Every structure is written in structure tokens, then in C-alpha cells.
Amino acid sequence: SYVMTQAPSMSVAPGQTATLTCGGIDIDSKSVHWYQQKAGAAPILVIFNDDERPAGIPDRFSGSNSWNAASLTISRVEPGDEADYYCQVWDTATGHRVFGGGTKLTV
Amino acid sequence: KLVETGGGVVQPGRSLRLSCTASEFTMSDSPMNWVRQAPGKGLEWLTYISKTGDNIYYAESIRGRFAVSRDNSKNTLFLDMSSLALQDTAIYYCARERAGASFDSWGPGTLVTVSS
């Protein structure tokens, strides 16, 4: 099954920009989705189809996808952005949906 | 919008059925998935079922032990789990699938603990 790699952790100061990456072979040929999961809560979708934001998600969250890595960028990071972030794709070869291992963002 | 039920403590080797009920939307409009999260671990996709239930996929970790189904007349999704093992201990989430196979709505999850 398709494998995606995320850094286990990242630390950023409030007000700075955090860029989280998700690596995978030919990932730019896939639609990448990103989820935010705060402690004790269910995940929520923050970016879908590489760079689209669901209603209600601040425009501080943006996404991109090129070559062998997709990225989630959080601008003007706030303490409330502290969470685990997961990337996810649909592996069309198997029909499986696949998650990356997640990145714990500390603010 | 989605609520999972049926979790609890179960002995190894036993079975359990989870349910996921939708409100405020018609479940038959969307494919659905089950995802789990073991304590302190990441998200693990388990299974996908199409709108009508005629297309199903399973992760290798549960193939042959778990079965997904849906009753659109009751707006409900099911996960039948058998031969449960200690490593199946996790929070189980149901999730609605939308654009590009993204999961735009999740339930709060139900905890399954496999323990003797």
C-alpha cells in the first residue's frame, strides 16, 4: 500500500509560519488532504484536494503539492493551532485510503 | 452529525458490533469509512463502503476479521468485528467521504478495549 512520511514533531513560536510536509512517491499525482486533531478530539478536515479550504477554516491554513512532497502551511501561528496534523490520500491502485504518520505541532 | 456507538470492553477472541448513525444529512448520499486510533498512536484507515454498499475495501490489518455494512433506510453504518485481539484496542471513528476521498465529517469516536 502507498506510504507517506511526515516528521514526528515540529515546534514554532506564536506569530511565525509553520510548514508541515508529507512525502510520498509521485504524491503530486494524488489529491492530498490534511486533518487537524487536537488532544482528546476527533480529527477535522483543514485542507482538501491539495489546496482547498473547507468552510470555516481560517485562510491562515493553506496547502500545496508538488513533486515528492505535499505541504500544509499555517501562517501567523496561534497557540490554538497546537495539534497533531495528518495527511491523507486515496491510493487508486488498491482503493485504500492512507494516512501519514502525523506531525505533532507544538506552539 | 455522526455518532458512533457500541464500544466497550471485550475479551480477546470475542466479537463486537459498532454502529454509526447520521443526523442532519442523508447517509446514502456519501461513501463512508471507518478509521481507528490506538492509544498514543496515529490514525489508521480501516475500511471504505460505497453509497450503495456494492464496493468495499479493507485494510490488510483487519481483512477477514472485520466487516462493514450499511442500512441507508436507517441512516446507519456498521462495523462487525470478530476475533478481536489486544492490538485492536482503539478509538473507532466513522467518517463521511466527500471530494477527492477526503473525510469532511467525523463522529466523536467510540472506545473499544480488548482485555482479558
Q: What is the pLDDT of residues B7-57, one digit of tens each?
A: 999 999 999 999 999 998 899 999 999 999 999 999 999 999 999 999 999
| Statement: residue B105 has pLDDT above 90 | yes
Q: Do A43 and B98 touch (CB under 8 A)?
A: no
Q: What is the pLDDT of residues A17-63, one digit of tens each?
A: 999 999 999 999 999 999 999 999 999 999 999 999 999 999 999 99
Using the structure block, give the residue that is written with the C-alpha cell 497557540. A79
Residue in B with minimal Cα distance to A39? B40
Q: Find, among A34, A24, A20, A33, the residue nearest to A2 by Cα.
A: A24
Pairing label, strands A44-47, A33-37: antiparallel
| Statement: residue B99 has pLDDT above 90 | no
First-last CA distance in chain B: 34
Q: Find, among A71, A64, A49, A44, the residue nearest to B101 by Cα.
A: A49
Q: What is the pLDDT of residue A68?
A: 81
Q: What is the pLDDT of residue B74?
A: 95
Q: What is the pLDDT of residue B56?
A: 98
A3 at B interface, C-beta within 8 A: no
Which candidate in A96, A98, A105 is best for mutational testing of the B interface (most B CBs within 10 A)? A96
Q: What is the pLDDT of residue A67?
A: 80
Q: What is the pLDDT of residues A85-107, one digit of tens each?
A: 999 999 999 999 999 999 999 99
- Closest CB to A99 among B45, B104, B109: B45
Average pLDDT over residues B55-62: 97
Q: What is the pLDDT of residue B36?
A: 98
Shortest Cα distance, chain A CAs vs residue B47, angstroms: 8
Residue in A with minimal Cα distance to B37? A42
- Let me know: does A12 contact A18? Beta carbons within 8 Å: yes
Give the separation between CA A85 and CA B113, rounded to whole angstroms: 25
- Let me know: does B82 contact B12? Beta carbons within 8 Å: no
Give the separation between CA A50 and CA B13, rounded to whole angstroms: 41
Helix (H/G/I), strand (E/B), else coil: B58: strand
| Statement: residue B64 has pLDDT above 90 | yes
Q: What is the pLDDT of residue A83?
A: 98
Average pLDDT over residues B103-114: 98
Q: What is the pLDDT of residue B72?
A: 96
The C-alpha cell that represents A84 in the structure block: 497533531
Percent residues over pLDDT 70 in chain B: 100
- Closest CB to A97 among B33, B98, B108: B33
